[in-house]
Amino acid sequence: MTGMKEKKIKKIGVLTSGGDAPGMNAAIRAVVRTARYHDIDVVGIRKGYAGLIGGEIKEMYSKDVSNVMNLGGTILHTARCPEMMTEEGLDKAAAIYKILGLDALVVIGGDGSYRGLAELSKRGVNGIGIPATIDLDMCGTEYTIGFDTAVNTGMDALNKLRDTSNSHERCSVVEVMGRDAGYIAVWCGMCGGAEEVMFPEEKEVIDSNKVIQQILENRSIGKRHNLIVVAEGVGGTQKLAKDIQEITGIQTRATILGHLQRGGSPTATDRMHASMMGYYAVKAILDGRQNVAMAYNNGKYEVLDLLESMEMKKTLDQEIYDVIKVLAI
């Protein structure tokens, strides 16, 4: 804890917002315990911004975050908040922040949560963002809490589907989460040994005809089962499975993993990143930083300006897909 610049910080709030992600509890734990170590009071806000507006708050102590690192989901719960899309809702949230006497508000969530935090920062709220989404689609950071667990959950499902597909010489088409980004799909495809991956960044190039052609080519060289991964941002999983079966005659099954990937005990990777980002969030507050976002880039944790981080660009490394194709032969 050395090197922290002492500030007269008395009280902070913490909430989780948007879709839940494995590792959120580890981040909450780190925020609460780091703050308490420095004699800062912590208010836990339930159900995200909706709880802030609705006044669903509770004082949090170190004991309140015992035995939570292994839990999926979020002990503070989360919810979508339409009111945060209105001027009235934003004004009310900022007013309650001030009524509570908070010196900072730590928000653990995705890009939508950051947008809400950015709006609150214009109304006098000192917002501190911690990136948490299984989709890995947030700009300014190479890693977001929950991604590794979601990929491992997807990979485990692919392993099981491979077993049964191999036994029946079937084709399995598996849809994974990721919203409009293909990170989960590409990682699951690589680590699960898929022969084709359909993801949003390449949906104009990788169509069903190309997938079917790949399946037929692989069958012609003796492959007896097939595994195709589809990102939810591409969709059409059921139709693709039907087309494959009708055109090739190969028995094909579609599996949509859905919210299964949001749950489960977080991996060591997610626990580590969540714990470090939670610690650095409080450190930033103690250092007098205003309206910043935690990030992990080039092997180091960083503190970025919130608004600047949201304007940064991020692209999926297309070479991963190229490698998948080489290894799928």
3-state secondary structure of 74: coil
Closest CA to 143 of 13, 265, 276: 276
Cα R_g (the chain), whole angstroms = 22
CA 42 to CA 62: how far, in whole Å?
Answer: 10
With contact defined as beta carbons under 8 Å apart, do 193 and 152 qualify?
no
Torsions phi, psi of 291, nearest 5?
A: 50, 70
Query: CB under 8 Å to 146, separation ≥6 — which residues?
Result: 20, 21, 22, 23, 24, 132, 133, 134, 262, 266, 270
Report the Cα 140 to chain-centroid distance in Å: 14
Catalytic, out of 135, 137, 148, 270: 135
Region label for 39, one of left (φ > 0), alpha (ψ between -120 and 50) or beta (otherwise):
left
3-state secondary structure of 142: coil
DSSP state of 80: -
Q: 316 with 189: CB under 8 angstroms?
A: no
Which value, to the nearest 10 degrees, does the dihedral of the CA atoms of residues 176, 293, 307, 45 take?
Answer: 80
The answer to whether the beta carbons of residues 53 and 81 sit under 8 Å apart is yes
Distance CA 213, CA 235 (A): 19
State the burial class of residue 163 (Cβ atoms within 10 Å of its Cβ: 0-12, 13-18, 19+).
exposed
Nearest to residue 161, comparing CAs of 99, 97, 208, 226? 226
Task: Respond yes or no: is residue 135 known to be catalytic.
Answer: yes
Active site residues: 135
